[in-house]
Amino acid sequence: MTVRDILILPDKRLRLESKPVAKIDAAVRQLVEDMFETMYEAPGIGLAAIQIGEPKRIVTMDLAKKDEPRAPQVFINPELVSTSCDKNTHEEGCLSIPEYYEEVERPARVKVRYIDLDGQPHETEAEGLLATCLQHEIDHLNGVLFIDHISKLKRDRVIKKFAKAAKLGKQPGNRAAE
């Protein structure tokens, strides 16, 4: 397993649309292992493959609390099948936009179709934190960032801040810059 570098805003690759995984092979399994290693090291609760520069429709997630055993989940080619009309607001952050958090309103419940590492199809209904995380990570696969769900003023401000930091080589959360 390898801890990979996480792409940081304003990296243009974060806006790429990820391609579906055609078959689950050793390379995909290795990528998933690397994603978990990277996510746990960061530390974070979710990671899309594009965040480590791999434009593949793969999401890793672990919503276990710090004092609980790990509960890793893998979603390959996830797609939102349905969303509820009622909304929830959660504070979101992102490993690709380190140290920035904002309240985001999203559908309270979702139904997601995906395949697992054994190639088996699944459909799951989620609410609360799991629903929020699934929507956040599936957004990544579509080139959408959580800041796209906030006001233009706030979004422009954070993009400007990260663009300036990148120009100076001082991105927040970037181990190489610290």
Q: Where are the alpha helices (DSSP H) in 48-150?
A: 128-141
Residue 168 pLDDT: 85
Task: Show which residues are catalytic.
Answer: 137
4, part of any domain: no
Residue 171 reports pLDDT greater than 70: no
Asked if residue 46 is part of any domain, the answer here is: yes
Look at residue 166 in the predicted model and tell me its pLDDT. Answer: 87
Q: Is residue 117, in this structure, part of any structural domain at all?
A: yes
Within a domain: 69: yes
Q: Is residue 177 scored above 70 in pLDDT?
A: no
φ, ψ of residue 148 in degrees (nearest 5)? -70, -10
pLDDT at res. 21: 98
pLDDT at 173 over 60: no
Q: Is 146 exposed, middle or buried (0-12, 13-18, 19+ CB in 10 A)?
A: buried
Structural domain includes residue 3 = no
* Tokens 């792409």, residue located: 7
64 lies in some domain? yes
How many other C-beta atoms can be found within 10 angstroms of the C-beta atom of residue 116?
Answer: 13
What distance in Å separates the CA atoms of residue 106 and residue 3, rounded to the nearest whole number? 31
**Residue 109 and residue 143 in contact, taking contact as beta carbons nearer than 8 Å:** no
Q: What is the pLDDT of residues 92-130, one digit of tens each?
A: 999 999 999 999 999 999 999 999 999 999 999 999 999
Residue holding tokens 């805003």?
9
163 within domain boundaries: yes
Q: How many domains does the chain have?
A: 1
Which H/E stretch holds residue 103?
Answer: strand 97-107
Identify which has the larger pLDDT, 110 or 165.
110
List Cα–Cα distances, 47 to 33, 43, 63, 105, 161, in angstroms. 12, 10, 12, 20, 23
Show the domain range for 121.
12-168
Task: Name the pLDDT band for 174 (thresholds 50, 70, 90).
Answer: very low
pLDDT-based confidence at residue 35 (cuts at 50, 70, 90)? very high
Does residue 178 fall inside a structural domain?
no
Across 153-158, average pLDDT: 95
Residue 57 to residue 119: CA distance in whole angstroms: 14
For the segment 38-97, what is each residue's pLDDT rounded down to a tens digit?
A: 999 999 999 999 999 999 999 999 999 989 999 999 999 999 999 999 999 999 999 999
CATH number at residue 108: 3.90.45.10
Per the structure block, which two tokens stand in for 116?
Answer: 């697992």
